[in-house]
Amino acid sequence: MRPIFVVIKHEIVTVLSKRSFWLTTFLLPIFIIVLSFGSQWMAERLFADAGDQELLAETPPDEGHALIGYVDEAGIIVALPPYVSQTLLQQYTDAAAAHTALESGIVERYYIIPAAYLQTGQVFLVEQQYSPLSRFTGVDIMQVLLDYNLSQLATTPALLIDPLPQVISEAVFPATPGEHDSPKDESAAFLVTYATLMIYYIVLSMSSGFMLHSVSKEKENRVAEVLLLSLRPRELMLGKLIGLGAVALLQMGVWLGGSLLALDQGKQVFEIARMIVLPPGFLAWGMFYLLFGYLLYASLLGAIGALAPTARESSQFTFFALMPLMVPLFLMTPFMEAPNGSIAVGLSLFPLTAPVAMMTRMAAATTIPAWQPAVGLVLLALTAYGFVLLSARFFRADTLVSDTSLTWRRLLAEIRGK
């Protein structure tokens, strides 16, 4: 029993004494938050400002704002909406005059409404700062003017522009009384789901990566040969599995604890933090799923490490082995939109995708049937057990000291036990 403890201690000390481990533990979350949320926040703000939203605001922009020209060959624009300032627009009789005004900087852009507008719907815009995508995604002042003028002949012009100005929504059967009966705030739900998905994906792939790294390093520098003199291969594997598992738990603890602490502190400052509600038992389920998910993937990558002669040669097998973890990452939209849909349920019960998928679903859904996390966990635990046994078969003195390269054929033969 003692050699196992020595291995456990060694693994924990080795990983914890690495500067890169602490850098990843503390800097990676900051990095991800800044890059993904920071850029998204900036983009959202820019998209909100994109187009002519500010020109239509109640307080008109400064006097200094450049004019917007238009040539109305169809004769549609006869009146301006009350919320559009007269000083913003300048009509021109033909395109040449408008273009001259553009080139001399009097107008920043001009529109041409062709005579056949009512039939074709075509409107042309010529602008100094060409940025078509922001025009297409934002509010366009000319569309507002055209809609306003065209709908003036109706008895209820405002309703034509916005047919549903006020909708009172009501859930007839709120999911569960109490905590979840109000619909969750969408951005808060997104935040929790995204964070859960990323944390599980990163912790599982990193911790199992430690296992691979640790095995192949000792194989490469031949320390394994020395080690095998004083302990059995399976003791080595078990020691590594437990030691690195403890490291994974620590990392998870830092991230989860950090997130919860930030959430708690954030409640006073950010409204969004108050809207975040985690389902009951989320943490307990989370720990079990992490534990068995880790056992499954660490034994899988440990087995690859034991068979491949160098870390580099194992990389293509590692990619395939970790692929199931990435599936929920690719299919994030269905998880957000329909956490109880067949795809999300299927993936959260399938053992290889379950650790990431089930926790993401639990974070995204208002409620999920109680049997599903339980069945998912049992299936995951059984599979993890099977993988640990399988991996133990690959941890043999002959594989650990051999330099035979790893091919798909050899892998299949090893699995079949030949």
Partner 1 sequence: MRNLWLVARHEYRKIAGKKSFLISTIGIPILICLVMGITIVVTLTAMDRRPVGYVDSSGILQLDAQQLLADEQPRLLLVPYPDGTSARAALESGEIQAYYVLPTDYLEAPVAHLYYADKAPSQLARQRFAYFMRANLVQQLPEAYQERVLHGSQLTVRSSDGAREASSDNIVDFAVPFVAVIFFFIAVLSAGGYMFQAVADEKENRTMEVLMTSLTANELIGGKSLGLIAVVLTQLFLWILTLTLAIIIGAQFVPELQAVRVPWALLAVTAVYFLPAYVLIASLMTTVGAAAPETEQGQQISGLLNLLFTFPMFFLAIIFANPNHPFIVLLSIFPTTSFTTILFRWSFTVIPLWQLALSWTLLVITALAGIWLAARVFRLGMLQYGQALSLKGIVATLRAR
Q: Considering only residues 92 through 111, tell me which ones interact with partner 1, judged by CB under 8 A.
A: 99, 102-103
**Residue from the set 132, 177, 178, 417 that interacts with partner 1 by CB under 8 A:** 132
Minimum CB separation from partner 1 for residue 72, in Å?
13
Q: For residue 108, report the phi and psi dihedrals to the nearest 5 degrees.
A: -90, -20
**Residue from the set 1, 17, 62, 130 that interacts with partner 1 by CB under 8 A:** 130
DSSP code for 88: G
Query: Do residues 217 and 342 touch, judged by C-beta distance below 8 A?
Result: no
Query: Do residues 112 and 83 touch, judged by C-beta distance below 8 A?
Result: no
Residue 346 makes CB contacts below 8 A (sequence gap 6+) with: none
Count CB atoms within 10 A of the CB of residue 288: 15
Binders in 260-279 for partner 1, by CB under 8 A: none
Window of 45-53, 197-205, 297-305, 403-411 that interacts with partner 1 by CB under 8 A? 45-53
User: What 3-state DSSP class applies to 90?
Assistant: strand
214 vs 256, beta carbon nearer partner 1:
214
Binders in 336-365 for partner 1, by CB under 8 A: 337-338, 341-344
Minimum CB separation from partner 1 for residue 240, in Å?
18
179 is an interface residue for partner 1 by CB under 8 A:
no
User: What 3-state DSSP class applies to 78?
Assistant: coil
Window of 10-18, 138-146, 294-302, 353-361 that interacts with partner 1 by CB under 8 A? 138-146
333 is an interface residue for partner 1 by CB under 8 A:
yes
For residue 311, which amino acid is it? A
191 vs 388, beta carbon nearer partner 1:
191
Q: For residue 139, report the phi and psi dihedrals to the nearest 5 degrees.
A: -75, 135
| Count, residues near partner 1 per rule CB under 8 A | 73
Half-sphere exposure of 257 (CA within 13 A, CB side): 8
43 vs 389, beta carbon nearer partner 1:
43
Q: Angle 223-230/233-269 helices, nearest 10 degrees?
A: 110
- Beta bridge partners, 71, equal 112
Return the structure tokens found at 157: 């012009």
The Cα–Cα gap between 352 and 328 comes to 11
169 is an interface residue for partner 1 by CB under 8 A:
yes
185 is an interface residue for partner 1 by CB under 8 A:
no
82 vs 132, beta carbon nearer partner 1:
132
For residue 401, which amino acid is it? V
**Residue from the set 168, 229, 269, 370 that interacts with partner 1 by CB under 8 A:** 168
Window of 46-54, 202-210, 393-401, 410-418 that interacts with partner 1 by CB under 8 A? 46-54
126 vs 273, beta carbon nearer partner 1:
126
20 is an interface residue for partner 1 by CB under 8 A:
yes
Closest to 304 measured CA to CA, from 322, 277, 286:
322
50 is an interface residue for partner 1 by CB under 8 A:
yes
Binders in 300-329 for partner 1, by CB under 8 A: 311-312
Closest to 347 measured CA to CA, from 316, 319, 323:
323
Question: Looking up tokens 């998204």, which residue turns up?
Answer: 40
17 is an interface residue for partner 1 by CB under 8 A:
no
**Residue from the set 80, 126, 242, 254 that interacts with partner 1 by CB under 8 A:** 126
**Residue from the set 13, 16, 46, 382 that interacts with partner 1 by CB under 8 A:** 46
